[in-house]
Amino acid sequence: MTGASGTELVVDGVSLIAGAHRLVEDVSLTARTGEVVGLVGPNGSGKSSLLRAVYRVLRPASGRVDVDGADVWSMSARRLARTVAAVVQEPNAGFDLTVREVVAMGRTPHKRLLDGDTLEDDALIRSALAEVNATGLAHRPFDQLSGGERQRVLIARALAQQPSLLVLDEPTNHLDIRHQLDVLGALRRLSATVLVALHDLNLAAYYCDRLYVLLDGEVTASGPPAEVLTPELLASVYSVATEVTVHPRTGAPQVTFLPTST
């Protein structure tokens, strides 16, 4: 599955406020067509809040979120659903549906009311399940799955949607190592543009073209992983000592966290 052609995302000077609390302050970023761009930073740094502004859940107090020059907040719901798909950290798990039916929901933006599945829809659904190694789950009740299985199914639903921009908030949470690699490998194969928040810096270093590091709601560094992931930056952002080397096989930065002295 290659998905829809990628699109350019431009976040321009976005600030987000909840009550008296400023979540994000004047953040700008760009994800160019077909790129995988990662958001990293400690818990509470503003990653999830920024993603909510991109997939139109949290309206910016100032700034814009543009997809190919169009403000996402001005798009119709149908156009947005055909353009942007999101996989969030805490989805509603109360689907009384089979796994296949959940993944088939990703085809809804491409249909008219009451349209059934076409042969193309069926092929896309099967391909999406295969991409996340979930083919064997197709006829299982969604609400009886483990957390990791549900996560893979929701990613498959997003893939079946064939968005040109895919936004994911910690998609490897609850996944074992094999399925983390399956999912991130699938994202790399997409022609869609991907914006993804990741907790694991080594996965981010390997799978992302560029990184934005958030701290206290602001971008503190951005660029290719080899330029961003330095011991100095990691010490200032995470307050930990690290060694950063080049992995001998992948060529990606490899971050090793050092124990604190006692």
The answer to whether residue 109 is domain-embedded is: yes
Phi–psi pair at 144, nearest 5 degrees: -105, 5
pLDDT score, position 49:
96
**Does residue 97 form part of some domain?**
yes
- What per-residue confidence (pLDDT) applies to 5? 67
The Cα 126–Cα 189 span in angstroms is 16
Strand arrangement of the beta sheet that strand 36-40 belongs to:
84-87, 165-169, 193-197, 36-40, 210-215, 218-223
Q: What is the number of domains present in the chain?
A: 1
Q: Is residue 262 part of a domain?
A: no
Residue 4 within a domain? no
* Any domain includes 1: no
Distance CA 10, CA 99 (A): 34
pLDDT in tens, the chain (262 residues): 555 667 999 999 999 998 889 999 999 999 999 999 999 999 999 999 999 999 999 999 999 999 999 999 999 998 999 999 999 976 565 678 999 999 999 999 988 777 778 899 999 999 999 999 999 999 999 999 998 999 999 999 999 999 999 999 999 988 999 999 999 999 999 989 999 999 999 999 999 999 999 999 999 999 999 999 999 999 999 999 999 999 999 999 999 999 876 4
Give pLDDT, residue 23.
95
pLDDT score, position 138:
96
The confidence score (pLDDT) of residue 20 equals 86
Asked whether residue 93 is domain-assigned, the answer is yes
* Cα R_g (the chain), whole angstroms: 19
pLDDT score of 236: 96
Classify residue 3: in a domain, yes or no. no
The domain in which residue 144 lies consists of 9-257
What CATH number should be reported for the domain holding residue 207?
Answer: 3.40.50.300
Sign of CA dihedral 186, 39, 43, 18: negative
Of 28, 9, 5, nearest to 67 by C-alpha is 9
Cα gap 147→15, rounded to integer Å = 32
